[in-house]
Amino acid sequence: MDPVARVTRGAGTPGKAAEMTEKIVLKPGSLYLRNRTPRVSSTAGITLFTIVLAVLSNVQITPAVEVFTNSFLVKMRQPAETFVADSVAARNGFVNLGPVLGSKTEYHFVHRALPHARTKRSVPHTRRLKVDPMVHTAVQQSGFKRVKRGYKSLSIEQLVPLQEMKNSGSQDPTDPYFQYQWYLKNTGQNGGKPKLDLNVEAAWAQGVTGKNVTTAIMDDGVDYMHLDLKYNYNAKASYDFSSNDPYPYPRYTDDWFNSHGTRCAGEVAAARDNGVCGVGVAYDSKIAGIRMLDQPYMTDLIEANSMGHEPNLIDIYSASWGPTDDGKTVDGPRNATMRAIVRGVNEGRNGLGNIYVWASGDGGEEDDCNCDGYAASMWTVSINSAINDGQNAHYDESCSSTLASTFSNGAKDPNTGVATTDLYGKCTTTHSGTSAAAPEAAGVFALALEANPQLTWRDIQHLTVLTSKRNSLFDAKGRFHWTMNGVGLEFNHLFGYGVLDAGSMVALAKRWKTVPPRYHCEAGSVLNMQEVPSDRSILLKIKTDACAGTDYAVNYLEHVQAVITVNATRRGDVELFLTSPMGTRSMILSRRVNDDDHRDGFTKWPFMTTHTWGEYPQGTWLLEVSFSSKVPQHGWIKEWTLMLHGTREPPYTGLPAADPHSKLAIVKKAHEERSTGI
């Protein structure tokens, strides 16, 4: 059972920056809230806002065989310096790997004599730590699986002969692989649709190339000696949490299994005009390597320390991995990892907040990325992919938490994947999966941060919604169509708000006004257990004023969460739809044919939607629960709590819309009409 963490911060003093103070209350099986008033700070910045962490509470994450590692989370009775923790570890036969998230009370101990993974708890070792007078608690870390998205076992690829490459113009990068980088400049090569790309040249033309921005690639290592990466490598911001040293170099294997991080790094920051491979989206930005995927089992502490590593040196964290994409796993970040993410968005980048970019998942139509607690988090930007003719890729998952899309591979030619750096100083044209999509988004966000270094993590999400384009994206099977929400924003269940447009994002970032403080509202709950029959849906209602008249009223939505407890004879046949008072219907859970669970169900799982962005939340919300199955099923919905997250004030006041037909203009008009009662 994982505890629940919920965090709330006060709004601060108007006109001044508020330094974040938060308290995370952890208690199994319940949602707890603590309000704290922030300390007023003279530090330049924005007024910080109320924030809630409504996450995996007692979700049953039950592996077939429970695994325990040789890592322990040790909490001291009182704050202790690292040398004291070293001494405590040594006298008990452990090694101290360092503090957890900069804490002076929590430390990461390992016992070298224990195997990295075993099926029994190490009770004597835990007991020995607990009886130490300096130790308050000691918890052996369980191990779990995390998988790379888009990895395929490949033989060593041959370099494409450079003489076959021709660049289209003198202003284009001269890098030999640039013509294969159709996602940067799509001229219709290899059956692609012309101009279906990230529009990066429009950003570069504005003199923006990612300078002074660092993106961390959290993966299996980065070949920082690669000629296309070495001069953009930020060693100070890098670390190897798999081997516990400052050198996150990949471990070479015959099947190139650990090429994943190097490929992702090249997408972001491969150098320009150096005659090697291609060019990165933000080719003057820096990359940090965080090696954390190359061990038999992941632990909460490895994830937490990776996501909390150097939050004031790193701007963006890019993750192209997650729980197993098998269509039956329901999993997400544990306790310490959630604390790391919350700390990052609240304190990282000197209070502006780190940007966490996540690949939405490669489970295809048999999976739903709202069952992935990383991609479905409010604090991450979940990115899906499209191929070079605008279709979704066959491995793309769909869900209501996806914010936008970039690109993965070509439709017809296996060599029209993402061209990027590879191991052994080589290049590849076959990188693919949503693994390839997330680093492209990280590169676009790096461009935006150079254009405006004062952007907050929420500003990046607003810019993503307002500047992403429908372009030519479409669902190849005709399941999901483009839909307009209540304030005129177009979204798609596969692609979110569309494909990222670097040129438009940079242009708007340059004149951006920081969005108002963010609040949360627990809008209501349905707690009486109701049966879900096999032959029809049931409809639950919550009528809310969105906390009007309180200090945490929400009038303009960002994220909406439906925190739900439901059990069924077959979990994979349950479908959930959430409809807003303005009529926007989000599928927050789709059928997953591989999910045969009949025991665990969902327990306080926060299903999230971005489809109601900008809408007004006051009124009646509807939750539709049904089965999609040819075989009779039955179940029970035990709880539904509606969480609203957004602003009290209109988010775009004072931000002029240059184009009357832009998304910004459309939403501003809708908000102005509401405020004037038209």
Query: Does residue 260 have an active-site annotation?
Result: yes
Active-site entry in 108, 125, 226, 260:
260
Q: Identify whether 240 is a catalytic site residue.
A: no
Residue in 435, 468, 504, 626 annotated catalytic: 435
Task: Tell me which H or E stretch contains 218.
Answer: strand 214-219
What is the DSSP code string of 445-480?
HHHHHHH-TT--HHHHHHHHHHH-B-TT-B-TTS--
Q: Are 220 and 263 in contact (CB under 8 A)?
A: no
Asked whether 201 and 284 are in contact (CB, 8 A), the reply is no
One-letter amino acid identity for 55? V
β-partners of residue 418 are: 431
DSSP letter, residue 91: H
Note the helical H segments in 119-171.
123-130
Spell out the residues 6+ positions from residue 673 whose beta carbon is closer than 8 angstroms to its own. Answer: none
Question: Which one from 197, 219, 284, 459 is the annotated catalytic residue?
Answer: 219
Task: Check if 435 is active-site.
Answer: yes
466 in Cβ contact with 664 (< 8 Å): yes
3-state secondary structure of 35: coil
Which amino acid would we find at residue 7?
V
CB atoms within 10 A of CB 208: 26
DSSP bridge pairs for 585: 579
Task: Name the nearest CA neighbour of 280 among 353, 217, 196, 358.
Answer: 217
Cα-based angle 573, 398, 619 (whole degrees, multiple of 5)? 80
CA distance 505 to 196: 16
Ranges of beta strands (E only) in 548-596 are 556-568, 574-579, 585-589
Catalytic site residues?
A: 219, 260, 435
